[in-house]
Amino acid sequence: MNQILTGQAYRHKALHLSSPMSASNISSNSLPDTLFLTGIPGLEASHIWIAIPFCAVYLVALAGNAALILVIVTKNALHEPMYLFLCLLSLTDLALSSTTVPKTLAILWLHAGEISFNGCLAQMFCVHSIYAMESSVLLAMAFDRYVAICNPLRYTTILNHSAIGRIGLAGILRSIAVVSPFIFLLKRLPYCGHRVMAHTYCEHMGIARLACANITVNIVYGLTVALLAVGLDSMLIAISYVFILQAVFSLPSRDARHKALSTCGSHLGVILVFYIPAFFSFLTHRFGRHQVPRRVHIFLANLYVLVPPVLNPIIYGARTREIRSQLLRMLHLRKDSV
């Protein structure tokens, strides 16, 4: 079972595990020891080719976010609130993609779909908590832009290093608090031997739908978390940008307006990259599950853990002059030393 399976044996194993016979000797109230992730259903023959762009995008995300973190950490001139929040955003991007993509590539390339039940719960917890944390970081970045533009004289007083640390800690604690109940909600369910999940990584509703019991509580709590965490964050970000744009267009200098809009444009681009795939995947997964093919759901689920990490460094690196100049200077010095 632990060996790497061929494509045909992999599909046979998945069918065997999902058949009623495989559950006949398992107590209905017992938790499965292992689960089996099938990858992208209906596209098993193309898994090898699908994994190539996934791997390429993941490597670009690793390189881009690592470079961004290195530039911000090593350059004292970039130790300002906006760049420190950007560093935190890159850290969450690295964590989000690294939690899911290596296992996805193992499934697509090596047919290594087995994962322990507790390991699956751990991956699920990391995915959802890191995602909630990234939403918190984006909200903090919106607050940073609000203070910088609407109250510039008190900017360094309000957003000092101590305040940034408290904001980061609050985001971590909130993420852990809202996601931790998922573990208990999933462990209370009976699974009746159902072990096969059509996905490339573990997420809350994917595991819950393996249960042979009513999962209304899981659905309601999942919706509540989405609305009160990510939904509330997006609403607060939208409200903050109403005030920001009002302040920007009231600036007397055209150059000042252009500079403020340029900085806000980078942040808005990151926000759209983060929220659009997530909300589209969330809404289609819950309300269009029977209209949208399952393979489309899986693709969308992979997009919202891959697209933001690869685009965020590109957006900020291309649009933020300070980061771009510092990165080019570092590359130039490295080239001269060689």
Q: How far is CA 104 from CA 22, 39, 59, 99, 180, in A?
A: 25, 7, 14, 10, 23
Note the Cα 321 to chain centre separation in Å.
Answer: 26
**Please, are residues 64 and 317 in contact by the beta-carbon 8 Å criterion?**
yes
**Length of the chain in terms of residues written:** 338
Distance between terminal CA atoms of the chain?
A: 49
Measured in degrees and rounded to the nearest 5, phi and psi for residue 36 equal -130, 115
Task: Please tell me the predicted confidence (pLDDT) of residue 4.
Answer: 44
- Measured from the Cβ of residue 109, the count of other Cβ atoms closer than 10 Å reads 17
Cα–Cα distance for residue pair 195/111, rounded to 1 Å? 16
Q: What does the block give as tokens for 330?
A: 């570092």
Task: Please tell me the predicted confidence (pLDDT) of residue 337.
Answer: 52
> How does pLDDT run across 265-274, given as a tens digit for each residue?
777 878 888 8
Q: Residue 168 carries which side chain, given as an amino acid letter?
A: G
Q: What residue has token string 């800690």?
A: 169
**Please, are residues 36 and 197 in contact by the beta-carbon 8 Å criterion?**
yes
DSSP 8-state secondary structure symbol assigned to residue 41? T
Cα–Cα distance for residue pair 137/183, rounded to 1 Å? 24
**Please, are residues 131 and 228 in contact by the beta-carbon 8 Å criterion?**
no
Q: What percent of the chain is modeled with pLDDT above 90?
A: 30
Work out the mean pLDDT of the chain and round it to a whole number: 82
Coil, helix or strand at residue 196: strand
> How does pLDDT run across 72-107, given as a tens digit for each residue?
888 887 888 888 998 999 999 999 999 999 999 999
Cα–Cα distance for residue pair 203/9, rounded to 1 Å? 25
Task: Please tell me the predicted confidence (pLDDT) of residue 26.
Answer: 46
> How does pLDDT run across 38-51, given as a tens digit for each residue?
888 887 788 889 89
Task: Please tell me the predicted confidence (pLDDT) of residue 22.
Answer: 44
Q: How far is CA 225 from CA 149, 218, 231, 323, in A?
A: 31, 10, 9, 35
| Long-range CB contacts (within 8 A, 24+) of 203-206 | 203/124, 203/127, 203/128, 203/301, 204/124, 204/128, 205/285, 205/286
Cα–Cα distance for residue pair 160/16, rounded to 1 Å? 58
In tens digits, the chain (338 residues) has pLDDT values of 444 445 555 555 554 555 444 444 444 457 888 999 988 888 778 888 989 999 999 999 999 899 889 888 888 878 888 889 989 999 999 999 999 999 999 999 988 889 999 999 999 999 999 999 999 999 999 899 888 888 888 888 898 889 999 999 999 999 999 999 999 999 999 988 888 888 889 989 889 989 988 899 998 998 888 888 888 898 999 898 888 888 877 777 777 677 777 777 777 878 888 887 777 766 666 665 666 677 777 887 888 788 888 888 888 776 677 777 777 776 665 555 54
- Measured from the Cβ of residue 133, the count of other Cβ atoms closer than 10 Å reads 25
- In DSSP terms, which residues pair with 196 in a beta bridge? 36
Q: What residue has token string 């302040």?
A: 247
Residues sharing a CB contact under 8 Å with residue 313, sequence separation 6 or more, in sequence order: 61, 64, 65, 67, 68, 90, 93
Note the Cα 46 to chain centre separation in Å.
Answer: 25
